[in-house]
Amino acid sequence: MSFAMGTIKLERVVCLGMVMMAVGVSAQEKPSVNLAPSKMSKLGTVDPRFVSYNVEMVEVTGGRFWKPYKSNVAGHDAAKSNTTPDANQQVGENAGRPAIDLSNPRLRELAEALGPAYVRVSGSWANSTYFQDDDLPALKEPPKGFRGVLTGAEWKGVIDFARAVNAKLVTSVAISPGARDMSGVWTPDQAKALFDYTKSIGGSIAATEFMNEPTFPGPGGAPKGYDAAAFAKDVKAFEPFLRNELPSTIFLGPGSIGEGSSLMPGGATMKLALNTDQIMEATGPVFDAFSYHFYASVSNRCGGRTTVAQGLTTDWLDRTIAGEAFYAAARDKYFPGKPIWLTETAEAACGGDQLAGQFVDSFRYLNQLGILAQKGVQAVMHNTLASSDYGFLNEETYEPRPDYWMALLWKRTMDAVVLDPGATGGPSLRIYAQCMKGHKGGVTLLAMNIDPKQEQTLTIPLSADRYTLTAPDLTSITVLLNGVALQAGQDGTLPEIKGQRVKPGALELAPASITFLTVPSARNAGCM
């Protein structure tokens, strides 16, 4: 009896093997990436607030900003952009929106889950926003030389929000004609009023840039004819003022954008009024850390043509490498050894495409985090927390979008020590590794199968907890964790984030899937 059963089993195995050989996918021939978490070497460390985000100044004050493609927010349609600019005109195609409610309990609950983080309140609007240092209602029109008004109550809302969600504040100051004397010389009056008020209410500013994006000074509200010499003159006035007023605040700069890779369709070159070499040669090494901004493209609002199919291509995913390489080289040239920060980034400039809020963008976002952590970038500030299509959260409902869940899984599983995974999975499998959050000696692996049709296989020698993220399709706003949809409660409470225990051996990675693997028993020396 037992012999007969054994014969049947053997015949089944032989038949299965013949079928597999017939289609050319023998189990022995199927490629697998072997990982050794215990032996992965340490590459470096990132800031514990590595995963961070922006709340644009115009969100705080209200004004004209990028309207989501599908939105009930009052304002002009993106397609109807030939409207008369008002006092709060932002560059490009945009639409009016009310101020964000930073006291909203659901928003705070969801933001707190991403702590510790940096929250950067800046953007082009900050360059020309007047700080109204009194208790009166907001001015109906900004003073001459400004394009927006920030009240003390609104800024207090920012300070209170940062405190409530375990975020440290990053900002910049006004540099428009209104922040200058009759001779056009920048004065610290507005910056001092903002800094003094911040201190008076128990707030603090962890880091600041002088201005937002000096490579685009005109659209950013700088005086006409603003050049590298003018920027250097301003910075050399601001730097000693900052050291005196906020001696522990990190001075970031220059905050350039638009270099290293093309944002425009077809690889067209963007015309920059200034470039980083001109800026840095004029200023010298005055900054504590080098900051830059990066977008892989512009959104459809500004002429971009990024498609869902592009979202899983190596060309698209690797654009972040070109941007970092350009600005890291500038850092090395002008002040080597200083930290580098990416203070603004997302799927596309001009508010993001619709795909910025879909599952397909999760691959770009996590790939960017993995690459930049390996290269020593200290902080990556996603634009935005809850505005337009590129927000972590839907701006009307604060419903988490896919990138939010990716940021949350990174926060829950990744520590600050970055490891060399020691293996690559070829063009279709991206692998990153860092020490495991909360487990001495543990390792967290991130494996992304960017092939939309074929499975990938990796092998690990230890038991792990598996967190696999998939979606019904690439355009979905729903994310499945190990097959179960992730959804936040109306009060912002999060579902249980629990992994599936897997044994040592081969793991199949589904097409277009993202998997975090936590290996608490790795006993990696760099994580002890």
Residue-level pLDDT at 266: 62
Residue 267 confidence (pLDDT) above 80: no
Give the pLDDT score at 95.
Answer: 53
Mean pLDDT of 67-96: 46
Q: Is residue 409 pLDDT above 90, yes or no?
A: yes
The confidence score (pLDDT) of residue 28 equals: 41
Using 50, 70 and 90 to split pLDDT, how confident is the model at 74? Answer: very low
Q: What average pLDDT is seen over the chain?
A: 89
Which of 9-18, 181-190, 306-315 bottoms out in mean pLDDT, i.e. has the lowest?
9-18
Q: What percent of the chain has pLDDT over 90?
A: 81
- The mean per-residue pLDDT over the stretch 48-55 comes to 98
Residue 427 is predicted with a pLDDT of 87
pLDDT band at 78 (very low <50, low <70, confident <90, very high): very low
- DSSP conformation letters of 354-366: GGGGSTTHHHHHH
pLDDT of 81 strictly over 80: no
324-337 average pLDDT score: 96
Query: What percent of the chain is predicted at pLDDT more than 70?
Result: 88
The structure's pTM equals 0.90
Q: What is the mean pLDDT of residues 216-226?
A: 92
Nearest-angstrom CA–CA distance, 283 and 506: 54
State the pLDDT at residue 465: 98
Residue 195 has which token pair? Answer: 């800094």
pLDDT tops 50 at residue 11:
no
Q: Which of 20-34, 302-316, 448-462, 482-496 has the lowest mean pLDDT?
A: 20-34
Q: What is the pLDDT of residue 264?
A: 64
Q: Rounded to an integer, what distance in angstroms lies between the CA atom of residue 477 and that of residue 358?
A: 5
Q: Does the pLDDT of residue 492 top 70, yes or no?
A: yes
Residues in Cβ contact with 462 at an 8 Å cutoff, skipping those fewer than 6 apart: 37, 38, 504, 519, 521, 522
Instruction: Please say if the pLDDT value at position 464 is more than 80.
Output: yes
List domains and CATH numbers for the chain: 30-44+420-527 (2.60.40.1180), 46-416 (3.20.20.80)
What residues have CB less than 8 Å from 499, skipping those under 6 apart? 464, 465, 466, 467, 482, 516, 518
Q: How far is CA 248 from CA 104, 204, 251, in A?
A: 30, 10, 9
Pairing of strands 95-97, 33-34: unpaired
- pLDDT > 70? residue 89: no
- Across 305-324, b (16+ Cβ under 10 Å) vs e yields ebebebbbeeebbebbbebb
Tell me which of 1 and 148 has the higher pLDDT: 148
SS3 189: helix
pLDDT at 269 over 90: no
Q: Which residues contact 24 (CB under 8 A, 6 or more apart)?
A: none
Is the pLDDT confidence value at 335 over 60? yes
Please check the confidence at residue 416 and state whether its pLDDT lies above 90: yes
Q: Is the pLDDT of residue 484 over 90?
A: yes
Residue 18 has pLDDT above 60, yes or no: no
